[in-house]
Every structure is written in C-alpha cells, then in structure tokens.
Chains A and B, each alone.
Chain A
C-alpha cells in the first residue's frame, strides 16, 4: 500500500488529496470535494495530463499573436512536444475562437485551437 499526497489543480480551491495505491491500482481517493478532484487524482498517479496553452504569430491581424490551447488535456510528458509543434506556426487573420491551429499536435490526437479572436488589420473595431 502506497499513499500519495496531491494538491488538486482542477480548480483554484486546490484541495489536498490523498491517493492510496496498491501495486499501481488506485484503491482510495480522499480529500477531494468534487468529482473533478477524484478524476484528477486517479489520472495524476497513473497518467498525468495537462492542458497546454501558448500563442502563435498572426499575419495581417489587429494583434501580433493569437492565444491557443490543446483542446483537451495531453499527457504531461508531451507538453514540450506540443510546444515544438507550435514553433514557427503562423496563421492569417481573421482567427476565431475554436479555429484549429495545429491538428493532432505531436501525435497526441489532440488539436491545438485558437482561444481568442483576431480581426484583420484595418477591420473596423465595432
């Protein structure tokens, strides 16, 4: 029996969670205050995952950059692979929230999508 202490990163409450493991199998999760915490704890001790957020360059837009994220969590070990997949990527304005910027980033099966709106340069700001 192994016990691991975690801080849940599911939301800013940061609940302290104790996970009990028996030979790699989770037998108990304690301290979480919601379902999200239970999910996080089980994943964190078996296959930890994170959402990766960054920016890419925009051409011809009102802004120089557009913010992006992996649409869902990716394995923690793939964070830097996702960042490499974004290196040198340029997109043309306009960009809208949810637009796919890099499909299937670094073989994770997860798309990287835009998280902000960038209008074309010269477009009237209403």
Chain B
C-alpha cells in the first residue's frame, strides 16, 4: 500500500490551503484527493466578486481566488488526484478511494486532513406540503446550472431562505433576465451577509420578507406557484396572511450542513451544534492525526477565513507527522459557549500546544444589538468588547493569547458569551 505523510480529503479552498501550508511547513509527501474533475471546489461556480480581500488584499471572483491556490499547489509540486471519490477513512488512517484509472485503491496516511466541505439543506428537511413538481432547486444547484452549465432554470422565481447563495442567485438570475419576485425568510433576521442584501436585493428592488415562509407548492409537472405566509414568533404560519405568487421556479437557500459521513466512519466525534468534528487548538479531532478545516468543520461565510483556518490545520498536520505533537500535553482547557453563543471552534485547548495567538471562531444564536462579546477565564472576565450588532448569519471571532492563558495556571474553562450593554 502506498503511504503519504498527509492525505487531504477534498481539493476545495480548505484542502488547497491546508496542502500549501503543510508543504511550506516541511512535509513533502502530500496527496490531495478530489472527486470533481478540477481543483477549487465550490469556488469554481461562485463567479461573483468579493473574495480575497483578507488573503490577497484585492477583490477577486471565486474562480480567480481558487486559481491562485491551484497555481501554488502546482508550483510546489503537490500531488493530487481528480475524479477520485474517497469512500472510507479508517481509524488507523487508511484512506480508500475509487476512480476510473485505479479502480478502488487505498493509501496509508501519517495524518489525514478532512476538507470535504458541506452540502445544502434540501426540501426534504423542510416539510413543505404540496406536490413535487420540477422547478424546485437548491440555490447552489441553480448556481451550478447558470454559471457552469449555461442554463437558466426558470423565469419567474421565488427564493425561500436568505442564505448568501440564495441572495447571490437572486441577483444572478435577475441579470440573466429572470424576474425574482421575492425572497422569503422564516427567521426575523437575514441568514446572509448584510452586504449581499444591499448589492443583490436592494440594488435590483427585490423584496425580502422576514418571518415569512412557503406553506404550499402548486403544480404537478412543473411548478406553477407557491403560497407564502407570515409566521409567528415560534415559526408557525399565521392563518389569513397567505399570499399567492405565480412562479415557475423555487430556490431553496435554507442552510448548509457539513458533510461528515467519512468522518463518522472513521470514528470522529461530531458536535450536534456545528454538525462538524469536535477539534482542539490544532484543529485535530478526537482521533490523533485526523484534522479538520473549512466547511466540513463548521460553515463559514468567508473563504478568506477558510483559507486561514485550513492553513493552521495544514501546519498542525505537518507538526504531527514530524512527531512534534506526539506528547499529548498535560492540561486541557474546555471552551464553554454560553449566553447567546452557540458554539466555538476549537472546542478544547491544550495551552502548551497552541500558537502564540489563536483565533477562536463562533456564532451567536440570535440577533443582539448594543452588546458585548465577553471572555472569562474561569470566573474572571478577561475580554469585554462592544459590538453594535451580532447576528447568526455573520461569524464572530476572538483571539486568545498563549501567554495570557499560561499566566492562569489551573485554568479549566474559557467561557465566551454575549452580554447586554
């Protein structure tokens, strides 16, 4: 069986950045396995601009951003296989894949980096009553059809959910001549970035109705219309508020779910909150030598942060194969998301193993205005940062310093919470 120091599952933005960082940290033997016929992942269909401001200090489109990393992977001579689907990762890090050239084959990995990304939540997860006609797509499917295949999936469009891909597709389909009648969002706040509300909806006069959902779908062969109603605070439709929209297309932009079938198969512990692996400061899962980064770990809004996180995972994996982290280190500090904070990544910190500065990313559960992001070392408040607004659709982050943590010997729990002003 062929052996590699590091095998990376997925050649999207996370996998590419992890590979580049691992290579630059001194690991020569790296293999990227990618199921598509090209590297770059979802960025290849994200043709809009706005990527790369953090990473490259310029505004790029998705394909351009991906191309920078692909060029770097090629320049560094990192090995990759395309059209290759990983079907199993074992606990002892044997990675089994299939493709047309090699059939089924296994490689032994010193370390594995999980970078499989996420999937869109589908209609089946929503329980919308009505028929199942053609014309109902996830926003990402529509994005692929329009941007990669050159098909416009419909002319009169309603979008359910205000996730970023839905907002981007509202603009895209409008530019291609479709009429987007409405974006309906179940929650009382948008699921997408504010800038996308401005430049994708407001610019084109597309209405966004918050606290609204689709309660009926009409049409037998092809979608002919949907019924939209207002919902109460518990998300239940309010009778008498129904409105009819005649449309041939319904796009769903109702959330993304990390794709962790392979991780589960390897015995990786999955958080019920993020649907991604439970990781420590090195982005290592409960299985030694298996690391995770990008949308398979938790869903990001910004590819720049995916690249940053994945680079950290790549460096950690390189250190691991060099044997630097063989010693499990003594203390383990638990991260405790509380009072409005849904989760943090990482979940655990071994202070001896952390970098001088470590980014902790988290999301809040609801919109909160004029509040503070607070961090407590056990009972002592060590950070109290004012935020005009925090929202579930926008990932937050804080930076922890190793020096400060080491200055608190015996520290057991770091709490991150939202406090009212």
* A contact residues vs B (CB 8 Å cutoff): 6-12, 14, 16, 36, 50-55, 57, 63-65, 67-69, 76, 79-80, 83, 97, 115-117, 125
Please name all residues of chain B whose beta carbon is closer than 8 Å to the beta carbon of A76 when the two chains form the complex.
Answer: 203
Asked if A116 contacts B50 (CB within 8 A), the reply is no
Q: Which of these, B53, B63, B149, B175, contacts A11 with CB under 8 Å? A: B53
Asked if B388 contacts A8 (CB within 8 A), the reply is no
Complex alpha-carbon distance, A64 and B44, angstroms: 13
Asked if B150 contacts A125 (CB within 8 A), the reply is no
Q: Which of these, B48, B194, B195, contacts A53 with CB under 8 Å? A: B48
Please name all residues of chain B whose beta carbon is closer than 8 Å to the beta carbon of A57 when the two chains form the complex.
Answer: 150
Q: Which of these, B150, B198, B203, B394, contacts A64 with CB under 8 Å? A: B150
Which 8 residue pairs of A and B lie closest in terms of their CB atoms, listed nearest first?
A14-B194, A116-B63, A67-B47, A9-B195, A115-B61, A11-B53, A14-B195, A65-B150
Asked if A53 contacts B49 (CB within 8 A), the reply is yes
Please name all residues of chain A whose beta carbon is closer than 8 Å to the beta carbon of B146 when the two chains form the complex.
Answer: 55
Asked if A116 contacts B67 (CB within 8 A), the reply is yes
Q: Which of these, A8, A10, A79, contacts B175 with CB under 8 Å? A: A79
Q: B58-81 vs A: 1/0 string, CB under 8 Å?
A: 011111100100000000000000
Please name all residues of chain A whose beta carbon is closer than 8 Å to the beta carbon of B63 when the two chains form the complex.
Answer: 67, 97, 115-117
B37 on the interface (CB 8 Å rule)? Answer: yes
Complex alpha-carbon distance, A7 and B64, angstroms: 25
The number of residue pairs between A and B whose CB atoms lie closer than 8 Å in the complex comes to 88
B244 on the interface (CB 8 Å rule)? Answer: no
Complex alpha-carbon distance, A65 and B145, angstroms: 10
* B contact residues vs A (CB 8 Å cutoff): 37-38, 44, 47-50, 53-54, 59-64, 67, 82, 146-150, 175-176, 193-195, 197-199, 203, 301-302, 388, 394
Determine which residue in A50, A53, A55 has the highest number of CB atoms from chain B within 10 A of its CB, and name it: A53
Asked if A12 contacts B47 (CB within 8 A), the reply is no
Determine which residue in A7, A9, A64 has the highest number of CB atoms from chain B within 10 A of its CB, and name it: A9
Q: Which of these, A7, A53, A80, A117, contacts B47 with CB under 8 Å? A: A53
Complex alpha-carbon distance, A6 and B195, angstroms: 10
Please name all residues of chain A whose beta carbon is closer than 8 Å to the beta carbon of B53 when the two chains form the complex.
Answer: 10-12, 36
Asked if B175 contacts A83 (CB within 8 A), the reply is yes
Complex alpha-carbon distance, A54 and B173, angstroms: 10
Please name all residues of chain B whose beta carbon is closer than 8 Å to the beta carbon of A116 when the two chains form the complex.
Answer: 44, 47, 63-64, 67
Chain A, residue nearest B393 (CB):
A14
Please name all residues of chain A whose beta carbon is closer than 8 Å to the beta carbon of B49 when the two chains form the complex.
Answer: 51, 53, 69
Please name all residues of chain B whose beta carbon is closer than 8 Å to the beta carbon of A12 when the two chains form the complex.
Answer: 50, 53, 193, 195, 301-302
Determine which residue in A52, A67, A125 has the highest number of CB atoms from chain B within 10 A of its CB, and name it: A67
Asked if A7 contacts B197 (CB within 8 A), the reply is yes
Please name all residues of chain A whose beta carbon is closer than 8 Å to the beta carbon of B64 when the two chains form the complex.
Answer: 97, 115-116
CB distance from B308 to the nearest CB of A (A): 13
Asked if A55 contacts B195 (CB within 8 A), the reply is no
Complex alpha-carbon distance, A65 and B307, angstroms: 26
Asked if A51 contacts B82 (CB within 8 A), the reply is no
Asked if B203 contacts A55 (CB within 8 A), the reply is no
CB distance from B352 to the nearest CB of A (A): 33
Q: Which of these, A11, A51, A83, A125, contacts B37 with CB under 8 Å? A: A125
Asked if B195 contacts A7 (CB within 8 A), the reply is yes
Asked if B198 contacts A55 (CB within 8 A), the reply is no
Asked if A64 contacts B149 (CB within 8 A), the reply is yes
Please name all residues of chain B whose beta carbon is closer than 8 Å to the beta carbon of A79 when the two chains form the complex.
Answer: 175, 203
Complex alpha-carbon distance, A79 and B199, angstroms: 12
Chain A, residue nearest B389 (CB):
A16
Chain A, residue nearest B164 (CB):
A12
Please name all residues of chain B whose beta carbon is closer than 8 Å to the beta carbon of A53 when the two chains form the complex.
Answer: 47-49, 61
Chain A, residue nearest B202 (CB):
A7
Please name all residues of chain B whose beta carbon is closer than 8 Å to the beta carbon of A10 when the two chains form the complex.
Answer: 53, 195
Complex alpha-carbon distance, A67 and B302, angstroms: 20
CB distance from A3 to the nearest CB of B (A): 17
Please name all residues of chain B whose beta carbon is closer than 8 Å to the beta carbon of A36 when the two chains form the complex.
Answer: 53
Asked if A63 contacts B148 (CB within 8 A), the reply is yes
25 contacts between A and B (CB under 8 A): A8-B195, A10-B53, A11-B59, A11-B195, A12-B50, A12-B193, A14-B194, A14-B394, A16-B388, A50-B199, A51-B49, A53-B47, A55-B47, A55-B147, A64-B148, A64-B149, A65-B147, A65-B149, A67-B147, A69-B47, A80-B175, A83-B176, A115-B60, A115-B64, A116-B63
